[in-house]
Structures are given as structure tokens and as C-alpha cells.
Amino acid sequence: MSSPTSSPTTVITNIASLVTNDPSLGDGSPLGLIQDAAVVVDGDRIAWTGESSKAPATDNRVDAGGRAVIPGFVDSHSHLVFAGDRTAEFNARMSGRAYSAGGIRTTVAATRAASDEELEANLTRYLAEALRQGTTTMETKSGYGLTVEDESRALRIAARHTDEVTYLGAHIVSPDHADDPAAYVSLVTGDMLNACAPYARWVDVFCEKGAFDGDQARAILTVGKAKGLHPRIHANQLSYGPGVRLAVELDAASADHCTHLTDADIDALANSATVATLLPGAEFSTRAEWPNARRLLDAGATVALSTDCNPGSSFTSSVPFCIALAVRDMKMTPDEALWSSTAGGAAALRRTDIGRLTPGAYADLAFLDAPSHVHLAYRPGVPLVTQVWRRGVREV
């Protein structure tokens, strides 16, 4: 195959099973699964996918050795710009204490006290950790600064490492404004937004008792939207509430957590372009009840699966771990969990150039030391990802 850009082309061949996420390919399922497959990479993009025997000639050849190949995971929800440690809080919780949003204040204090270098070193460490586990796109947020300076520096640092950056000044009411939440909402929608918007693509609110109510969340997201940021919402995590319906009303890309949903919430999601992003690491690490993935899927909602990696409620960067939880405890099939953590994550970021291995998409992919993606749930806790390519370059 000759390259229009004259970059060398590479065929990855001898793939036991390939997840393309294109239902017009292979077995015709949503995963577009091709057995005995090959992928051609041209520069940073996929140029061709199909059966090995039909692969075009290329400059280079890589033998997958009968492994499975999947799109790199798209982790559409994490909180990686932070400092400090909440081991003691986790330990207390595992001894019976309940999780509450209040723990966020511990991380806010440590994050404010940290240098830029320390924050950036933490961020790059967790991004590298995720990459080793197959994650090739990672959204991340501010939310542990809660001042104009601390929120904007978090986003400035994040924007050096990912395009998917979210302004979460409305994580909790800043401890400095504990007596005057309305003044904090004014700051979040005023000076803080102005300082943060240049570095962010998304605006998010933790819509929850103890954080921001529906009216505050609507105000923050509406002003953020007018500033060119697109909404996403932490919704219905700890209790029933207005978050999910607000997400749909504002055409948010995603309603995240979705643990406590009424039938009306499910209907609203199913009839919208808003993705329901499930974060089972949070339920695991807070011993909370699982979101009902089956109810969402059976109603026709689009479901994404992500880590929510953060030091308080879900300190895992592992999408394979979340897949295992989703299959075992949330009754997703292995196919659904794989789709949700790749194409679903891409949908939650309103992207079509990632989360799929079809011509024109970025060549972001992971090799599994297993014959199929089902092993991600079948062999929980086993490091099956052996090779990761991002933008056509092998990085792991």
C-alpha cells in the first residue's frame, strides 16, 4: 500500500481477533469483530482493516503472534491534577465510615500547597500508568484548586498533556466561601471561568447534595457554554437528583456516575445524545451500590465506562479493572464493556477519530496477551496489555 503522505506504512498481521467497533465489518456485531485479522497503519492513522489474507502490501510488517488487538481505551472521566494522599480516608471507609464529598477538601489543601512541578509530575505519572494499561486518550479535570489561580494552573498543566481538559471549578464550594455559596458560584461563572476557559474544552459541575444544586449547576453550565465550553455533569452519584435531566436539557456530552436513576432519568438519557458514563471504580472504592447498566442499555441509552481516577473515591487508572467490575457486578456483557470503554468513551467526548480501528481513525490500539477481548473480564487483575500504540507509534 502506498502512502499519500509518503510515511512508511506498516501492517500488523496475525491478529487472532480484532475489535474495530465498526458494525459493517467482520461479524456484524457492534464490535465489528474480525478473526485472523490485519490492520494497516499509515502515519498516525489507520489505513485499512480486514482479514489477514487480504491485507495489502506495506513497507513494514509486525506479527501480533495470535494476540487480540483492540482500540486504545478512551477514559473520558478522571481527576489527575492533584497532590497529597487519602489513604487514611480509604482505610477508615473500609472500616465502616461512609463516603462523603467533604473528603475533596483534603485534596484541595494539598493541591494548593503543591508546586507546578509536583502537580505535573503526578499527572504524567498517572497518564503513563494508564497508557501501560491500554488507555490512549484520557480526559482530566481541575477541581482541587477552587481559586482562580489554582484552577487555571491545573488546567494549564493538564492542557500540556491531553486535549480533553475539563474545567471543574464547581467541584465543591470552596472552603474560602463556605458561608456564601452564591459568591462562589459568581466566581466560578466570572473571573475563574475567564481564567480557565482558554485551557479547557469542557465545563463540569458536581451536582449533588453537599456540592451544587440543580439551579446552581444550570447557571454554571449555561455560562460555561456561552464561553465556548461544552457541558458534562457529575450527576446522580450519591443520591437521586436533577443532574441527569439537566445534562439532557443542556445537551451535555455526558452524565457521569448515574448511580441513582429514576425511570424518567433513564428515558431522558435514552432519548438524547447525552452518554451515561458509568464509573464502577467509585462504587468499588466506596462500597456503594452499583449503577444499573442493564437498565440503561436495555432502554437504549449510550453507555461509556471510565475510571474516575482520583485520590478520594476511585484511585485506579485501570480500565481493564473497570471492565471486569462492569461485567461481574453491573451485568454488562464482555462485548458491551469493551465497546463502552472504547467507542463509548469516544462518544462521551463527542469524538469519532478515536475508539475505533477503521480507516481514517487515529492508530491508537492495544495488543492483549490473550486470544480475545473477553479475557479482560475472564482474567481479572492480570496485566494482559502487552503493547500500546498511540498515533501510529508504539509507546509500550
CA distance 210 to 236: 12
Q: Name which of 157 and 168 has its Cβ closer to Fe ion.
A: 168
> Is 373 annotated to bind ligand?
no
Q: Which one among 189, 274, 307, 310 touches ligand NIG, defined by CB under 6 A?
A: 310
Q: Which one among 167, 184, 202, 206 touches ligand NIG, defined by CB under 6 A?
A: 206
Considering only residues 86 to 105 of the shown chain, the ones binding ligand NIG according to CB under 6 A are: 103-104
Residue 29: DSSP 8-state: S
By CB under 6 A, residue 308 contacts ligand NIG: yes
User: Which one, of 321, 323, 394, 335, lies nearest residue 136 by Cα?
Assistant: 394
CA distance 174 to 336: 38
Element (H, E) at 343: helix 343-348
Which window, 114-122, 150-158, 309-317, 329-337, contacts ligand NIG (CB under 6 A)?
Answer: 309-317
Q: Name which of 69 and 80 has its Cβ closer to ligand NIG.
A: 80
Q: Which one among 45, 201, 218, 234 touches ligand NIG, defined by CB under 6 A?
A: 234
By CB under 6 A, residue 312 contacts ligand NIG: yes
> Is 144 annotated to bind ligand?
yes
> Is 254 annotated to bind ligand?
no
Residue entry with cell 458561608: 179
Considering only residues 32 to 91 of the shown chain, the ones binding ligand NIG according to CB under 6 A are: 79
Q: Which one among 52, 277, 313, 317 touches ligand NIG, defined by CB under 6 A?
A: 313
* Residue 151: strand, helix, or coil: helix
User: Which one, of 124, 126, 209, 221, lies nearest residue 169 by Cα?
Assistant: 221
- Which contacts qualify for 46-50: CB closer than 8 Å, 24 or more apart? 46/357, 46/358, 46/359, 46/360, 46/361, 46/362, 46/363, 47/1, 47/3, 47/9, 47/359, 48/1, 48/359, 49/18, 49/20, 49/22, 49/25, 49/357, 49/358, 49/359, 50/25
Phi, psi of 79 (to 5 degrees): -130, 85
> Is 308 annotated to bind ligand?
yes
In whole angstroms, how close is the CB of 374 to ligand NIG at the nearest point?
28
Mark the binding-site residues for N-formimidoyl-L-glutamate, compressed into ranges: 144, 310, 312
Annotated binding residues for 4-imidazolone-5-propanoate: 86, 144, 171, 237, 313
- Name the site residues for ligand NIG (rule: CB under 6 A): 79, 103-104, 107, 206, 234, 237, 282, 308, 310-314
